[in-house]
Amino acid sequence: MITLDPGNISDYISDSEVEESLPGAIRALDSLVNRKGRGSEMLGWLDLPSVPAESTGRLEEEGERVREECDCLVVTGIGGSYLGARAAIEALCEEAEFPVYFAGNNLSSLYHSRLLHKLQDRRFAVCVISKSGTTTETAIAFRLLKELIREQDDPRSSERIIAITDPRKGALRKLAEEIGITVFDIPRDVGGRFSILSPVGLLPCAVAGIPVEEMLEGAADALEEYTRKADSNIMLLYALTRHLLQAKGIAVEVLSTFQPEMNQFCEWWKQLAGESEGKEGGGLFPASTVMTTDLHSLGQLLQEGRRNILETFLISNKPCRELIVPEEEENLDNLNYLAGKSLGQINRKAYEGTRDAHISGKIPVLSLEIPSITPRAMGELFIFFELAVSVSGRMAGINPFDQPGVEEYKKRMFRLLEKPGV
Ligand code: PA5
What pLDDT, in 10s, does the model give residues 81-122? 999 999 999 999 887 789 999 999 999 999 999 999 999 999
CATH 3.40.50.10490 in the chain, residues?
3-36+216-395, 44-210
- pLDDT, residue 51, reads 84
76 contacts 129 by C-beta, under 8 angstroms: yes
Please state the atom number of ligand 1 nearest to the C-alpha of residue 403: 3
* Active site residues per annotation: 275, 296, 410
Q: Which residues are CB-neighbours of 301 under 8 A, at least 6 positions away?
A: none
Do residues 44 and 189 make contact, with C-beta atoms less than 8 angstroms apart?
Answer: yes
Residue 302 has pLDDT above 80, yes or no: yes
Chain segment 342-373, per-residue pLDDT in tens: 999 999 999 999 999 999 999 999 999 999 99
For 141-174, write each residue's pLDDT tens digit: 999 999 999 999 999 999 999 999 999 999 999 9
What residue owns the CA closest to ligand 1's atom 12?
A: 130
Collapsing DSSP states into helix, strand and coil, what is residue 176?
helix
Architecture in CATH for domain 3-36+216-395: 3-Layer(aba) Sandwich (3.40)
Backbone angles phi, psi at 315, to 5 degrees: -120, 135
CATH superfamily of 44-210: Glucose-6-phosphate isomerase like protein; domain 1 (3.40.50.10490)
pLDDT at 54: 81
173 lines ligand 1 (CB under 6 A): no
Is 78 close to ligand 1, i.e. is its CB under 6 Å away? yes
95, amino acid identity = E
Q: Please give the pLDDT value at position 120.
A: 96
What 8-state DSSP symbol labels residue 106?
A: S
State whether the beta carbon of 130 lies less than 6 angstroms from ligand 1.
yes
Average pLDDT along the chain: 96
Per-residue pLDDT averaged across 64-77, rounded?
97
In angstroms, rounded to a whole number, what is the distance separating the alpha carbons of residues 114 and 116?
Answer: 6
Kindly report the protein residue whose alpha carbon is nearest to atom 9 of ligand 1.
79
Taking alpha carbons only, the member of 249, 126, 242, 111 closest to residue 176 is 126
Whether the pLDDT of residue 26 is over 90: the answer is: yes
Ligand 1 proximity of 193 Cβ (cutoff 6 Å): yes
Asked if pLDDT for residue 223 goes beyond 90, the answer is yes
With the C-alpha atoms ordered 27, 33, 34, 36, is the resulting torsion angle positive or negative?
positive
Per-residue confidence band for 339, with pLDDT thresholds at 50, 70 and 90: very high
Q: Is 328 exposed, middle or buried (0-12, 13-18, 19+ CB in 10 A)?
A: exposed
- For residues 237 and 310, give the distance between their C-alpha atoms in angstroms, rounded to a whole number: 14
